[in-house]
Amino acid sequence: MSTPPHPLSGPAAAGADASRAAAVWRDRLGLLLESTGEGVYGIDMDGLCTFINRAGARMLGYEPHEVLGRNMHDLAHHTHADGRGYPVDDCPIYNAFRAGVPCRIDTEVLWRRDGRAFPAEYSSYPILDGGQVLGAVVTFVDITERKQQQDLIRQARDELEHRVAERTQALSQALGQLRDLQAHIEHVREQERIRIAREIHDELGSLLVGLKMDVSWMEKRVLDQPTLRCKCQDMRGLIDRAVDNVGRIITDLRPSILDHQGLWATLEWQLQDFIDNSELTCDWAIDIAPGLKDPGGPLATAVFRIFQELLSNVARHARATRVEVRISATASDLTLRVKDNGRGAPPSAFERPDAWGVMGMRERAGHFGGWLHIDSQPGQGTQVILSMPLYQAGAHSRLPQERAA
């Protein structure tokens, strides 16, 4: 006995299975759309809504059935945040299906049913079937809280930058005042050195000269007394040594050449004195623009004191056998370079809080708009470059004063 055929068999049964499968997937896609917190809707080629999930409809202030079939641009994207109209031809959402160009925007607003706007981030992607564009799918989310947080962060950053600017200005003013005070102290110190040097020269120097004359007078009157004459000769020798020491002290306090012959001659004199006393091999050159006026005043004093300190450091600390000195001056600036082949030091040694000598030289230079650069490594010697602005007129040429000692 044959079994009767099933009511749905063959092609008809296959079609029913496909319909049931499609219905299951539609239900699952519907559940998926309803489960997400983002708004999701679809539009056809006319911009009319073909579907929208409940979250998206409520974000816009509608029920889903109230949105279906309506033009979504006219409904929720018709105006910019500043009130300007938003032509549909400029809408990135519509470009998704017109030009097949996806987009992701977070700088615009969408409009609710009650006329209130909210900042939104939306994405629009074209729906393709066999290469043909059928519409677009749009997802959007309310980013009001994100924008508020960004505004708070921006306000906090602006306030912090404002406070930093205020503190920086205050620190700059304090640094400027401190630098001015340091410069004033250095000026007072130089004036005191000049006064002391002058008094030593005028008072003590005169006394020593007078004493030497008296001893010479006495020596002439004791020619027949060898003991007294020998004593007078010893006293005169002591007086000569005292005169030499007084001269050295006066020069250490304030070399008179700086006041009478200017900075250029003083730098050469100081360098030659260093060569004579240090017994180091020294290669040096001085380039001064012809007709360039000597800067004089506090600037000249600052340059001389820095140069003096640099040479003193080489003599006391470098343990070098050779030093190279280059001094050049143009209409705009003065550059001074001292390089030795000594033991060197790590860069951190020149940045220590107690590196008073380096700090003092940098402050002297900084007060006049200059700078001091130190390049040194252990075992590789040290190079120091000083640059100071001059702002004077004159052409540059090289003086034939390069020599090696």
Last residue of a domain, one of 142, 176, 196: 142
Asked if residue 396 is part of any domain, the answer here is: yes
Residues 289 and 224 both lie in one domain: no
pLDDT confidence bin for 70, thresholds 50/70/90: very high
In a domain, 245, yes or no: no
DSSP 387: E
pLDDT digits (tens, 9 = 90+) for 22-54: 444 455 666 666 767 789 999 998 899 999 999
- Judgement on whether residues 213 and 285 belong to the same structural domain of the protein: no
Using a pLDDT cut of 90, give the percent of the chain over it. Answer: 33
Whether 226 and 291 map to the same domain: the answer is no
CATH number at residue 19: 3.30.450.20
Average pLDDT over residues 140-152: 92
What pLDDT is stored for residue 16 in this prediction?
53
pLDDT of residue 26: 52
The Cα–Cα gap between 365 and 372 comes to: 7
String of DSSP letters for 2-24: PPPPPSS-THHHHHHHHHHHHHH
User: Do 378 and 268 reside in the same domain of the chain?
Assistant: yes
- Measured in degrees and rounded to the nearest 5, phi and psi for residue 338 equal -125, 120
- What total number of domains does the chain contain? 3
Q: What is the pLDDT of residue 370?
A: 92
Asked if residue 151 is part of any domain, the answer here is no
What is the pLDDT, as a whole number, of residue 394?
36
pLDDT attached to residue 102? 86
Given a cut of 50, whether residue 402 has pLDDT beyond it is: no
pLDDT, mean over the chain: 83
Question: What is the predicted pLDDT for the residue at 152?
Answer: 93
Q: What is the pLDDT of residue 89?
A: 86
71 confidence band (pLDDT: 50, 70, 90): very high
pLDDT at 99 over 80: no
In the chain, the largest separation of any two C-alpha atoms, in whole Å, equals 175
* pLDDT tens-digit map of 178-230: 777 777 777 777 778 778 877 777 777 788 888 888 888 887 888 778 888 88
Instruction: Determine the average pLDDT of the residues in 103-122.
Output: 93
- Residue 181 and residue 58 in one domain: no
What does the DSSP assignment read for 61-102? TS-HHHHTTSBHHHHH-SB-TTS-B--GGG-HHHHHHHT---
Phi then psi for 12, rounded to 5 degrees?
-65, -40
Whole-structure pTM value? 0.53
Average pLDDT over residues 42-67: 92
Tell me what pLDDT residue 328 has. Answer: 92
Residues 217 and 348 both lie in one domain: no
Residue 328 lies in a domain: yes
Q: What is the pLDDT of residue 29?
A: 61
Range of weakest confidence among 301-305, 356-360, 398-402: 398-402
Q: What pLDDT does residue 21 have?
A: 47
Domain with residue 292: its CATH number is: 3.30.565.10
The H or E element that residue 97 is part of is helix 92-98
* Range of lowest pLDDT (138-142, 206-210, 259-263, 317-321): 206-210
Spatial neighbors of 295 by CB under 8 A, at least 6 apart, are 263, 303, 334, 390, 392
Average pLDDT score over residue span 317-344: 92
Helices (H), 119-262: 144-199, 205-220, 226-253, 256-260
Q: Check pLDDT > 70 for residue 400.
A: no
Of the listed ranges 109-118, 212-221, 299-308, 314-323, the one predicted with least confidence = 212-221
Same domain, 280 and 361: yes
pLDDT at 396 over 50: no
Per-residue pLDDT for 375 more than 90? Answer: yes
Say whether pLDDT at 12 is over 70: no
Q: 185 and 138, same structural domain?
A: no
Q: Do 27 and 98 belong to one domain?
A: yes
Strands 371-376 and 382-389: antiparallel
Task: State residue 392's pLDDT score.
Answer: 42
Tell me, yes or no, whether 134 lies in a domain: yes
Tokens standing for 147? 């924008």
Q: For 333-374, how does the pLDDT look when each residue is reduced to its tens digit (9 = 90+)? A: 999 999 999 999 998 888 888 888 888 899 889 888 899 999
Rounded average pLDDT over 103-127: 92
- Token representation of residue 146: 């994100």
| Same structural domain, 289 and 394 | yes
Q: Please give the share of the chain, as a percent, with pLDDT higher than 70.
A: 88
Same-domain pairing of 271 and 400:
yes
Which whole number is the average pLDDT over 56-80? 93
Evaluate whether residue 338 is within a structural domain: yes
Q: Residue 158 domain-assigned?
A: no
Residue 149 lies in a domain: no
Segments forming the whole domain that contains residue 224: 166-233
One-letter amino acid identity for 274?
F
Question: At 71, which amino acid appears?
Answer: N
**184 and 301 housed in the same domain:** no
